[in-house]
Amino acid sequence: MKRLAMCVAVAACLSGCVVVPAHRHAGYGAPPGVIVDAPPPPAYVEPVPVMPYAGAVWVPGYWGWAGGRHQWVPGYYERPRPGYRYEPHRWENAGGRWHLRIGGWVRL
């Protein structure tokens, strides 16, 4: 009987747990410090879906680097962060090599 009561108590506690996917953050899909010799492809015009809720912030997609080549990382919506603005990912040419500058939330 004691064991049954313990199982019910544990089940009740665990029923309150919520498992959610990992929060996307700046740099998702791109390792930090990416430096390559190949320039990114021309800008990709990504259709922006309908805003899922008022105030949602569109985080634009970008050309990432994976598997030895540029790959498109699609954009997505994020909840706004008061006092911050989103700085998108960007590629910069420095001495003939291309550096991926990771975007993210920047304090205003």
> Does residue 90 form part of some domain?
yes
Does pLDDT of 53 surpass 80?
yes
Render pLDDT for 69-99 as a digit per residue (tens, 0 to 9).
999 999 999 999 999 999 999 999 999 999 9
Q: Per the structure, how many domains does the chain have?
A: 1
CA–CA gap between residue 5 and residue 9 (Å, rounded): 6
Q: What's the pLDDT score for residue 43?
A: 84
pTM score, whole prediction: 0.67
Residue 4 lies in a domain: no
* Residue 4, pLDDT above cutoff 80: no
| Number of residues assigned to the chain | 108
Residue at 82 is within a domain: yes
Share of the chain above pLDDT 90, in %: 68
Looking at residue 9, its pLDDT comes to 55
Residue type, 86: Y
Q: Tell me whether residue 103 is in a domain.
A: yes
58, two tokens: 């569109």
Tell which residue, 45, 10, 32, 43, has the closest CA to residue 99. Answer: 32
